[in-house]
Chains A and B, each alone.
Chain A
């Protein structure tokens, strides 16, 4: 009965109630929130701007966690091979990772939802065409396709985002098409047609709002996937440029010295990445339970 609508409740209230009812989801949501806020406030909370070459001291490189700098600042999580404070680098890295993940997720949502709605509502050849394309996209491993795109078009932040959008839109399209097909068969859509409402209005104001549950769930999980995918690409060296390191790049940089015992350069960014991806997934999982249409009255 958990997902059932209480009298007069809005979708947002229902989601909130659902998350708060599960201790695991509440904890995960808090972690998410903390990390997002931390990333947003990175320029404020970071003790050091890791990209300001004037502040970095090369002689402070490879210091273990807890070491002190000559200026009295504590390197809580150590420094990397360039002398950057790991804590600051991680905050900025998280910021970049989240930005790329959210942007590509959002764009993929817009593209995928639009195509999914069109496919469901128009049916016939348009539906067949779009869905063949979706099948094609879903048939290839995500990283492989993104890799190929970046190899062909070169690196750069926006190129990475577009590559991620290209590999993700199909998930949204498929989910939305399924939900939209169900809704299109319902009488209220036919009633809207009978009342002379335009197709655009019906799609946007009638069908789309009823496709939100799967969209929200997939959106949440896809953001996590995008963050992880971007990290993978950066780790492989084809992701974001060095000037805007994400967590993936930090992990890659630290990887070179990992076996020498300088664990903090890889492990801490790795744990942070794990934290954000894991908590987003748990929240997404909980949302899937809460928004399950079979539980709706």
Chain B
């Protein structure tokens, strides 16, 4: 069994704000093997984006990774020097954001930016870097890459910009890519194009991909494994089939059950009552307790993770009968 590409244990990222300590990520365990796609699913406030930022070291004060091990290729990233992290970022680990303008500088031609990225990590001539950039643009499906490389970001449509951002992420053929909702803001037919490209490239390059999303449907189609986040913790994780066919955590089951396609047309949708707790008002013990139909007194204490093979869940009353949640 090859060592995992990424092994995260007990990750905690907290933000020290004037109103209190916001525990965005409060004890997250993740594992990713080379060539695998992991879907990190959660709603707003679950901490999924902050998890992504923590892995790549982009958490700014007042936020701080306060605890945990982030093992990448055997090395603990938390103990790495800033220079060491910087050399990893863009080279071995890359990130794609929801808004491609977080990657693209609006006043630089994309060629300029890409060449700069290449030469930041490799000692090559400008001509070689340019050739590599043109090749990357072609790989993500930009038509006429040799011409388009001299264009500015505003000359591209939203979908094309995201492809450019992906191309930049792929320039050094990284081992790990963290994608934070890159297709959420795109139209459905364009999203499909991007997902097709990503699927193809992930398979070709054998890279590890963490796909952060709120959309279970996209994750179901794209990923092999999935982790569900709620209020800063991973409440369930496993293979796609395990989690979607036999969800053990009531929140996972609730999410699956509330999608319209899983319900009878015209009938009220099965819904999870209430709403997620605000980051500073999380209940003690299991954060899902106030909304859970199965909650009892023991749920006021912190549930530990139960692992059955690769399928894990944090719940005192895991669901046994999954028949009702099949789509």
Contact = CB atoms under 8 A, between A and B. Distances in A.
Direct contact of A and B (CB under 8 A): yes
Interface of A: 1-2
Interface string B5-21: 00000000000011100
4 contacts: A1-B17, A1-B18, A1-B19, A2-B18
A1 B20 CA distance: 12
Contacts, number: 4
Contacts of A1: 17-19
Interface string B296-310: 000000000000000
Q: Which 4 residue pairs of A and B lie closest in terms of their CB atoms, listed nearest first? A: A1-B18, A1-B17, A1-B19, A2-B18
A186 B137 CA distance: 38
A51 B211 CA distance: 81
Nearest to B19: A1
A239 B23 CA distance: 61
A2 B19 CA distance: 11
A2 B18 CA distance: 9
A4 to B, nearest CB: 9
A195 B18 CA distance: 39
A1 B19 CA distance: 9
Interface in B263-290: none
A168 B64 CA distance: 48
Interface in B1-38: 17-19
Nearest to B18: A1
Nearest to A1: B18
Contacts of B17: 1
Contacts of B19: 1
A1 B61 CA distance: 13
A1 B17 CA distance: 8
A2 B17 CA distance: 11
Contacts of A2: 18
A1 to B, nearest CB: 5
Contacts of B18: 1-2
A286 to B, nearest CB: 17
B120 to A, nearest CB: 31
A80 to B, nearest CB: 52
